[in-house]
Chains A and B, each alone.
Chain A
Amino acid sequence: MLALLGTGLMLHVCAFAARLVGFWAFPENRWFLPVNSFFGALSYMSLALAAAFFFIEARKKLGILGAFILPFVAGSLGLAVLKADPALSALSPELRSYWLNLHPPVLMTAYAAFANAFGVCLALLIQERQIKSRKPTELCYRLPSLDELDALNGRIVAVTLPVLVAGLAMGAMWAYETWGRAWSWDPKETMALITAAFYAEFLWLRYFSGQRGRTPVYVSMAGFACMLATFFGAELSSGRHGFLGGK
């Protein structure tokens, strides 16, 4: 499966390169990444999701876990292909900043890693239920153990939350350079902050309060829900982040 996933990843990288060539045909777009449209963002997101899973799978060899994570890749790619407009256009002057290559990709990479953590959470809840039921099915023996899933979830979030915070800080710096204000409580900014808060709460519960089991898992999953709201929901409301849907 790893080989198949690797092949898919390579193909996607090639497609991304081809898109980059097309994007750079606009002279003003040169050296910027094509993440300014909904299509571009989703495409980058699927790539990051699959790459993050590839990394986890190569290290952990968890096999069946792919069933919980790869659907997100398919969903994200499917949404890009079916619902988003792949047309390329010149960047608006506002976006022509080196921050465009940093702020959105860093955040989307964090989102992709969180989606992986969410897949792990789902598997964890199913495994927990299986064992609690006293009537485990075949699935129970195929899934990674509770402890492995729990540790993996914790580790992914612990590594990713700083990335999310760094991405937000970059956004704030970009906003300060462009508009003179670092933070303006735009819906997307607010939701991202809530996302970070949920994951921070999860880390606190998991590593410092000595709680494990379902509660921290639910908190981590709530973080993912906020993240989805940040990525998709806040798109609809206009504001400083209306670039993707609005443009």
Chain B
Amino acid sequence: MKLVCLSWSHRERSCAAREALAAVPVERVLAALKARGIEEAAALSTCNRFELYAAGAPDKAPCADALLSALEELAGASLGEFAEIRADAAAVGHLFAVASGLDSLVVGEAEILGQVKTGYESAKSAGMTGKRLNVLFQRALFVGKKVRAETEIGAGSSSVPSVAVSLAETIFGRLEGKSALILGAGAMAELAAKHLAGRGVRKLVVSNRTWERAYQLAARYQGEAVRWENFPAELENADVVIASTGSKDAVLSHRVVESAVRRRGGRSLFLIDIAMPRDIEESVHLIDGVYLYRLEDLEAIVAKNMASRAEAVAAARRVVDAKAEEFGAWADSLSSGRERSLKHSSSVS
């Protein structure tokens, strides 16, 4: 079997080629390739990656240049300079590594597996997959799951907001039905609001010294804005408080938090201070039932998670290599006419 892979990924600094390709729907790519006589092809298009896989019997091998010119025609841009071209075993290993998250910007991220699946499904529904690509992609999905199950490559959250959300979940369980108070209306506050709203937080309250900005941020996330002088009253109801104001002094003092806690009936209070200089007095962490995490605490957790992912890279790589070799042997056997078993019972589609 012959396999060719063209890819444009985040490793290439210039994103012009990726941008041009991202604008072309995968269905159009597949249709154009079909029109040019390519029998088996699948494309994977994400915000920082475009990959095209084409396969055929050894006598009808797809040619990288032909694929490239087809793509250039569709994208209306010159792409060759930035393309990484792989063939056969290298292409198989690459797809397996991509599916495992080894090639991602944030190593081990989980979305890529779903994106590989989507790419495969579009190709399948376009009638562009035969035995070779079917087995290749099903195998890739299987390897992606196996690597995540057997190694720590995807363990732990990989960004400050997602760490904050997962910590909130260790305190409150599901965040649906909880309420959050956001102090400040800058970019960080907005990011926090977005993450919390995404987790189904019931009530989002925004408070900022400049009322208009609080109002605008609250409106964007169906929240509620309160005047700056009234925010301490909101502490009684909020479960999560995120502070990211530009204030020079602490805006949330020990005394204010303590008196709010007394009125909360013992419910836990999760405070996140991502402001620099600090917005929340450090000593509130000593109050029973109050948990204060500062930016550096969250960053330390992210760093720890990423370090354990990095440690897992070698193990993940071993799984990917072993599976790529296994697949290579199967692909060779296909050409020789005596098909070997790929232990398909263990593959997950």
Contacts and interface: CB of A to CB of B under 8 A. Distances in A.
Interface in A101-148: 127, 130-132, 134-136, 138, 140-141, 143-148
A56 to B, nearest CB: 16
Given A146-B170, A215-B288, 6 more contacts: A127-B170, A130-B170, A147-B173, A148-B173, A206-B266, A210-B265
Contacts of B266: 206, 210-213
B85 interface: no
7 contacts: A131-B170, A131-B171, A136-B170, A143-B170, A146-B268, A147-B173, A206-B266
Say whether chain A's binding surface is mostly helix, strand, loop, or mixed: helix
Interface residues of A, number: 23
Question: Which of B170, B172, B173, B264: most chain A Cβ within 10 A?
Answer: B170
B173 A214 contact: no
A135 B163 CA distance: 12
A122 to B, nearest CB: 16
Which bracket fits the contact residues of B?
Answer: 20 to 34
A131 B291 contact: yes
Contacts of B281: none
Contact of B301 (A127, A136, A212): A136
Contacts of A215: 288
Interface of A: 127, 130-132, 134-136, 138, 140-141, 143-148, 206, 210-215
B170 A145 contact: yes
A127 B264 CA distance: 21
B181 to A, nearest CB: 18
Interface of B: 155-156, 166-167, 169-173, 264-268, 285, 288-289, 291, 293, 297, 300-301
Nearest to A144: B173
Say whether chain B's binding surface is mostly helix, strand, loop, or mixed: mixed
A140 B265 contact: no
A134 B265 contact: no
Contacts of A214: 288
Nearest to B270: A131
B74 to A, nearest CB: 44
Nearest to A145: B173
A147 B289 CA distance: 11
Contacts of B291: 131-132
B169 A213 contact: no
Contact of B170 (A141, A206, A210): A141
Contacts of B285: 132
Given A134-B293, A147-B172, A147-B173, A213 B288 contact: yes
B306 to A, nearest CB: 15
Nearest to B264: A210
Given A136-B301, A213-B288, A145 B172 contact: yes
A148 B169 CA distance: 10
Nearest to A210: B265
A120 to B, nearest CB: 14
Question: Which of A134, A138, A210: most chain B Cβ within 10 A?
Answer: A134
B171 A147 contact: yes
Nearest to A205: B266
Given A134-B293, A213-B288, A215-B288, A146 B171 contact: yes
A212 B169 contact: no
A145 B301 contact: no
Contacts of B288: 213-215
A37 to B, nearest CB: 43
A134 to B, nearest CB: 5
Contacts of A210: 264-266
A215 B171 CA distance: 17
